[in-house]
Amino acid sequence: MGNNSSFFDEMSGAPGVRPPYQAYGTWFEDQDLGRLAQKSREAEQFFRRTGITFNVYGQADAEERLIPFDLVPRILSHEEWRKLESGVDQRVRAINAFLHDIYNRQEILKAGIVPTELIAENDAFLPQMMEFTPPGGVYTHIVGTDIVRTGEEEFFVLEDNARTPSGVSYMLENRETMLKMFPELFSQIKVKRVSDYPKNLRASLEAAAPPNCEGRPFVVVLTPGIHNSAYFEHSFLADQMGVELVEGHDLRVVDGRIAVRTTRGYRNVDVIYRRVDDDFLDPLTFNPQSMLGVPGIIDVYRAGNITIANAPGTGVADDKAIYSYMPDIVEFYTGEKAILKNVETYRCSEPDSLKYVLDNLSELVVKEVHGSGGYGMLVGPAASKQELADFAEKLRARPGNYIAQPTLSLSTVPIFTEAGLAPRHVDLRPFALVAPNEINIAPGGLTRVALTEGSLVVNSSQGGGTKDTWVLEG
Contact 281, 296 (CB under 8 A): no
Residue 64 has pLDDT above 90, yes or no: no
Structural domains of the chain, ranges and CATH numbers in brackets: 12-342+408-471 (no CATH), 346-406 (3.30.1490.270)
The angle subtended at Cα 161 by Cα 53 and Cα 445, nearest 5°, is 60
Residue 285's SS3 state is coil
Residue 459 has pLDDT above 80, yes or no: no
Residue 134 has pLDDT above 50, yes or no: yes
Residue 461 has pLDDT above 90, yes or no: no
Whole-number Å distance between alpha carbons of 78 and 474: 5
Give the other-Cβ count within 10 Å of 56's Cβ: 17
pTM of the full structure: 0.92
Give the other-Cβ count within 10 Å of 436's Cβ: 13
Residue 3 has pLDDT above 60, yes or no: no
Whole-number Å distance between alpha carbons of 305 and 254: 11
Contact 447, 413 (CB under 8 A): yes
Q: Which residues of 171-194 are buried (b: 16+ CB within 10 A; e: fewer)?
A: bbbbbebbeebbeebeeebebbeb
Residue 450 has pLDDT above 60, yes or no: yes
pLDDT in tens, 336-372: 999 999 999 999 989 999 999 999 999 999 988 876 6
> How does strand 341-342 pair with strand 155-161?
parallel
Mean pLDDT of 283-292: 93
144 pairs with which residues across the strands? 161, 431
Torsion of CA 53, 424, 197, 223, to 10 degrees: -30
Arithmetic mean of pLDDT over the chain = 92
| Segments of 176-270 assigned E as strands | 219-222, 244-246, 251-254, 257-262, 265-268
Whole-number Å distance between alpha carbons of 97 and 331: 11
Give percent above pLDDT 90 in the chain. 80
What pLDDT, on a 0 to 100 scale, did the predictor assign at position 297? 98
What pLDDT, on a 0 to 100 scale, did the predictor assign at position 4? 45
Whole-number Å distance between alpha carbons of 42 and 233: 21
449 CB-near residues (< 8 Å, 6+ apart)? 70, 74, 413, 415, 424, 425, 426, 458, 464, 465, 466, 467
CA 465 to chain centre: 15
